[in-house]
Amino acid sequence: MVSQRSFKARKDSAGERFRSGQTEGRKREGASTVSLNHPLAANFKGSWRNMRKLQYVFMALAVLCFAIPAFADGGSSSINLVPIGAGIGMALAAGLCGLGQGKATASATEALARNPGARAGIMLFLVLGLAFMESLTLFTLVIVFAVVANAK
């Protein structure tokens, strides 16, 4: 029969009642409730509303930054937005390439931790995958240069 002592809920620290019998007298390291004085635990009333307002303000400023060159010149025909679009495309390609490379490296590190004997095969496919990912970014860079050169 199970004693009532093992089911008794204590209020010493977080997760205390979910302990096994071997750790009953010990304190748990690193697991504590977040203090209400912590900045991330603060519950500000209307904070989402303020953030939404800030988001609208920054979006309007970003639109105005692109609109200023368009309205600054009185007699020209049109402005060339190809370099801006090419820069945004290159930024997306480089950022997503970095995310992919980070995920691949994390997976390879986890695989090496699980099976150190398969190091040669894991490293081969890791380097091959990283080279393919980086080549996509370099191809994007070449396309960006070609598009910007043709747009002039």
Asked if residue 81 is part of any domain, the answer here is yes
Residue 40 and residue 30: Cα distance in Å, rounded? 18
pLDDT digit string, tens, across residues 64-122: 877 766 666 666 667 788 888 899 999 999 999 999 999 999 999 999 999 999 999 99
**The CATH number of the domain where 114 resides is what?**
1.20.20.10
The whole domain housing 109 covers: 40-151
pLDDT of residue 102: 94
Asked if residue 20 is part of any domain, the answer here is no
Asked if residue 114 is part of any domain, the answer here is yes
pLDDT(141) > 90: yes
Question: What total of structural domains would you count in the chain?
Answer: 1
Asked if residue 79 is part of any domain, the answer here is yes
- Please report the DSSP string for 26-79 in residue order: SPPSS--PPPTTSGGG---TTHHHHHHHHHHHHHHHHHHHHHHHHHH-SS-S--
pLDDT of residue 5: 52
Asked if residue 8 is part of any domain, the answer here is no
Q: Which residue has the higher pLDDT, 9 or 33?
A: 33
Asked if residue 61 is part of any domain, the answer here is yes
Asked if residue 34 is part of any domain, the answer here is no
Asked if residue 105 is part of any domain, the answer here is yes
Average pLDDT, the chain: 77
Q: Which residue has the higher pLDDT, 48 or 27?
A: 48
Amino acid at 67: A
Token reading at 44: 């500000």
Share of the chain above pLDDT 70, in %: 63
